[in-house]
Amino acid sequence: MSQGELVGSYIVPVHPHTVLAPEQNEGWQRLRDAFDEAAKRIKEAEADLLIIYSTTWPSIIGHQIQADPNPEWVMVDHDFHALGSIPYSFNIDAEFAHAWDQANAKRGLKSRTVNYTGFPIDVGSVVALKLLNPDNSIPAVIVSSNVYANRSETTVLAKSCLDVIKATGRKAVAVTAMSLSNRMFTTPIEPKDDKIHSLKDDEWNRKILEFLGEGRLEDVGQLSRTIHKQIRVQKVVAFKPMWWLSGMNGNRNNLTGEVLAYEAIHGAGGAVVHLDPTPSGAGDKEYDEDDVEFFSGERNVLDAEGDAPLPEPLPDQSSSSSGPALWEPTTGESSVNSEAAPKPVGMYPHARRVGDLLYLSGVGPRQPGTNAIPGGPISDDQGAPLDYDIKAQTRAVVENITRILEEAGGSIDDVLDVTSFLVDMDRDFSGYNEVWAETLGKVGPTRTTLAIRALPTPIAVEMKVIAKAPQGN
């Protein structure tokens, strides 16, 4: 089974107008058309799982994950009941829901599954699933938004979800059901009179969408608290979904973004945005807050079971805190360095251009920013061996190569020759070879694979690459 992945992300509005009355307002119709386009793209991506994070499903006891395989009822909105009723019958992946719940526990996060006849699926989830998955052909999972959760819980919730996606080989699409500015008109209005509640809300919405259109999702995540203060009514659930969605995308800033529609729904800002994982742009980002791998609780201040031991952390997600010091890549007239690639462990650049060729320094799987090793390190800080995933490491190596080549203005298709180094040929060659076939094998470079005793960091694979230099640079 190949490793699972996120094949796309979408941001969609929550109010029922796009389902029940799109024809009453041109803007609502444009949002509906954008929903339909998003549904088409999800089909084309051959996604086999839709994951909905809904801001209209608040929870208190941790996060709740819908696990009724076939929830059925009729939804009526608390405010917009006069628009009509929405009968629903959804196809929920209960097995994935339970696996996600267990993965949360491994990362220290409280959650639970819910499976009760008549459970009221919230309006945001109903709208998203009705329009993005109209024929119910793609199994879905819905998760609540915990009213007390902060960035750490919400980020870890995403990482545990990714754990399950990867482990189960799913091709998943992540969806946040949310408004941008959420201030509605507090009196009934005629549909034709709908507009964003204020100029200030509109300006903030457009700035958020500018970022998202450039694929700068993590930047929006880092701005979540500011956005919440500026344009969000203090409802039960704060502006958390960008934390979750950015976590689902590896906290990246170089996604390929596209705003499919932006309109008002009773004054609130509603947008349909597509974020493709294909890297684009420079990926610069400024971190105000650290990345979080495990949730360490509320220090028992409010924990009803405060004496319960913390769960064991996931061994395959930890990164080594020791190892050689990291260097800034050296700069020179012909050097190519990327913020989106891991820092060197010595005084050298990521790549050098000589004539029509690019020579890359040896590339490993370490992640830029965090230095984490996908698939886990091969040994702990004391040198004791750990289990690790060679396929995850190999895939990360290829991604890092891609980022460096893109920084130079090229792409992975420019690779001509690769020398690969494995620390355990017997154990790892098969997995390494499988990922190679899915990635660089399709590009067609020459290849040499060597067994070596060790690499400078606790990784199992490294590649030395020669590529064509892009023309015109």
Partner 1 sequence: MAQLAALFESWVSPDLHDSSADADIAPKRLACLMTQGEIVAGCLAPHPPHLVYAENPPQNEPVAEGGWEQLRWGYERLRESLKDVEYDAIVLLSPHWQTYVGTHFLGLPQFKSLSVDPVFPNLFRYHYDLNIDVDLTMKIHDKAAEAGLAVTMMENPDFRVDYGTITTGHMFNPEWDKPLVVISSNRSRDYYSVEVMQEMMIELGKVTREAILESGKKVVVLASNSLSHRHFTTESAIPEDMSKEHITSHAMHLWDMRMIEYFRTGQAQRILDEMPEFTEQAIAESDGGGLSWLLSTLDTPTYPATLHGYGTIIGTGNAIVEWPERNHTEGSQ
Which residue ranges make up the site for partner 1 (CB under 8 A)?
A: 57-62, 74, 76, 78-82, 84-85, 110, 114, 116-120, 122, 146, 148, 183-188, 233-235, 266, 298, 302-305
Query: What's the closest the beta carbon of residue 272 comes to partner 1, in angstroms?
Result: 22
Query: What's the closest the beta carbon of residue 24 comes to partner 1, in angstroms?
Result: 16
Query: What's the closest the beta carbon of residue 248 comes to partner 1, in angstroms?
Result: 23
Nearer to partner 1, 68 or 428 (CB): 68
Return d(Cα 99, Cα 115) in angstroms, integer: 14
Return d(Cα 207, Cα 168) in angstroms, integer: 37
Query: What's the closest the beta carbon of residue 188 comes to partner 1, in angstroms?
Result: 6
Do residues 375 and 316 lie in contact, with contact meaning Cβ atoms separated by under 8 Å?
yes
Q: What six digits make up the tokens of 315? A: 């061994």
Nearer to partner 1, 84 or 456 (CB): 84
Strand partners, 449: 420
Nearer to partner 1, 234 or 471 (CB): 234
Q: What six digits make up the tokens of 332? A: 């020179």
Nearer to partner 1, 202 or 406 (CB): 202
- Closest listed residue to residue 308, CA positions, set 65, 105, 101, 104: 105
Do residues 116 and 30 lie in contact, with contact meaning Cβ atoms separated by under 8 Å?
no
Nearer to partner 1, 32 or 183 (CB): 183
Query: What's the closest the beta carbon of residue 473 comes to partner 1, in angstroms?
Result: 53
Percentages of the chain per state (helix, strand, coil), in multiples of 5: 30, 20, 45
Match 């298709």 to its residue by tokens: 413
Nearer to partner 1, 40 or 235 (CB): 235
Query: What's the closest the beta carbon of residue 70 comes to partner 1, in angstroms?
Result: 15
Instruction: Compute and round to an integer the Cα radius of gyration of the chain.
Output: 23
Query: What's the closest the beta carbon of residue 406 comes to partner 1, in angstroms?
Result: 42
Do residues 110 and 60 lie in contact, with contact meaning Cβ atoms separated by under 8 Å?
no
Nearer to partner 1, 82 or 450 (CB): 82
Q: Is 296 exposed, middle or buried (0-12, 13-18, 19+ CB in 10 A)?
A: exposed
Nearer to partner 1, 193 or 298 (CB): 298
- Closest listed residue to residue 96, CA positions, set 156, 132, 58, 51: 51
Do residues 178 and 11 lie in contact, with contact meaning Cβ atoms separated by under 8 Å?
yes
Which residues fall within 8 angstroms of residue 473, CB to CB, at 6 or more apart?
Answer: 353, 408, 409
Do residues 173 and 47 lie in contact, with contact meaning Cβ atoms separated by under 8 Å?
yes
Nearer to partner 1, 82 or 451 (CB): 82
Query: What's the closest the beta carbon of residue 135 comes to partner 1, in angstroms?
Result: 23
Query: What's the closest the beta carbon of residue 386 comes to partner 1, in angstroms?
Result: 31
Do residues 10 and 38 lie in contact, with contact meaning Cβ atoms separated by under 8 Å?
yes
- Closest listed residue to residue 235, CA positions, set 336, 145, 152: 145
Query: What's the closest the beta carbon of residue 298 comes to partner 1, in angstroms?
Result: 7
Return d(Cα 1, Cα 55) in angstroms, integer: 33
Do residues 37 and 204 lie in contact, with contact meaning Cβ atoms separated by under 8 Å?
no
Nearer to partner 1, 239 or 421 (CB): 239
Query: What's the closest the beta carbon of residue 360 comes to partner 1, in angstroms?
Result: 48
Nearer to partner 1, 223 or 265 (CB): 265
The number of CA neighbours under 13 Å toward the Cβ of 430 is: 3
